[in-house]
Amino acid sequence: MKHELTNVIEHDNFQGEYRILRLAAPVTGPQVKPGQFLGLQVPNLGERILRRPFSIYQADASGVAVLYKAVGRGTEAMANIQVGDTVNIIGPLGNGYPEPDASKTPVLVAGGYGNAALYILAQRMKKKGIAFFGGRSAIDILLVKEFEELGWDVRPTTDDGSLGTQGLVTDAFDPWAKKQDFQSLEVFCCGPNPMLKAIGDRAIAHDFTAWLSIDRHMACGVGACLTCVIKRKTDTPKDWEWSRCCKDGPIYESREVLWDE
């Protein structure tokens, strides 16, 4: 993990409410593993100095890109970032996804920025599989064409039926998964926590592996403040321990996560 002062080379509308921010980051870019994220200091944010976490959508020797949506003060202030500005980042942060098991069928399940978070994984995996993407409406489902161009079979679901199956992502995943040998699946999931839990519950019930990227509020991003802790199951008499999503995660196997009811 390194601090880097990066130069903004692209900042534009991407799709729907999402914008793309591309940074020249020759130190960070080459180190990125799939599923890792950046701690980005939003310029000119006055008293709100905490970094915001963003999954790394693209990375190469020259830099990184993120796709983001404005949901509050920090992300709204990002709209003022101009091409040529300097942006301070730390990264790559977090553990990232493990090396895929070549003997299994890879399955991606994502929604919202989760599609962007899985893109590098999808790009670097030798074996392409099936991708279930969920969203409210067609405009909310990012990168369908890009995943298809990589060779993934993309199955969208939308709440309003404007693209793919109408319903939740599990309404497309469940009937497909029932026709497979469950234990041959390896699922990589990034999206809202209810989606992660739904996939995690199925992984435990049907005994397949599911890697979940847990979304928690983060303050420091480097394991120092404990803002982002979750309960991780252990074999100890207490059964669980606190785990820092920013440093020990954000990727956990479904059996490790003790969800707060």
Ligand X SMILES: Cc1cc2nc3c(=O)[nH]c(=O)nc-3n(C[C@H](O)[C@H](O)[C@H](O)COP(=O)(O)OP(=O)(O)OC[C@H]3O[C@@H](n4cnc5c(N)ncnc54)[C@H](O)[C@@H]3O)c2cc1C
Please give the residue ranges that form the binding site for ligand X (CB under 6 A): 37, 52-55, 66-69, 71-75, 113, 116-117, 215-218, 250
Of the candidate residues 27, 70, 77, 225, the single one contacting ligand FES (CB under 6 A): 225
What are the contacts of 137-144 at 24+ separation with CB within 8 A? 137/162, 137/163, 138/162, 138/163, 139/15, 139/16, 140/16, 140/17, 140/112, 141/115, 142/14, 142/15, 142/16, 142/18, 142/67, 142/112, 142/113, 142/115, 142/116, 143/115, 143/116, 143/119
From the list ligand X, ligand FES, none, pick the one residue 116 interacts with, judged by a Cβ distance below 5 to 8 Å according to partner type. Answer: ligand X
Q: Which is nearer to ligand X, 61 or 79 (CB)?
A: 79
| 220 belongs to the binding site for ligand FES (CB under 6 A) | yes
How far apart (Å, rounded) are the C-alpha atoms in residues 134 and 197?
A: 15
| 163 belongs to the binding site for ligand FES (CB under 6 A) | no
The token pair that represents 184 in the structure block? 């041959």
Q: Residue 133: what are its φ and ψ, rounded to 5°?
A: -115, 130
The residue behind tokens 């601090």 is 3
- By beta carbon distance, the residue nearest ligand X is 72
| 230 belongs to the binding site for ligand FES (CB under 6 A) | no
Distance of closest approach, residue 127 Cβ to ligand FES, in angstroms? 33
From the list ligand X, ligand FES, none, pick the one residue 227 interacts with, judged by a Cβ distance below 5 to 8 Å according to partner type. Answer: ligand FES
From the list ligand FES, ligand X, none, pick the one residue 124 interacts with, judged by a Cβ distance below 5 to 8 Å according to partner type. Answer: none
Residue ranges in contact with ligand FES by CB under 6 A: 218-221, 223-228, 244, 246
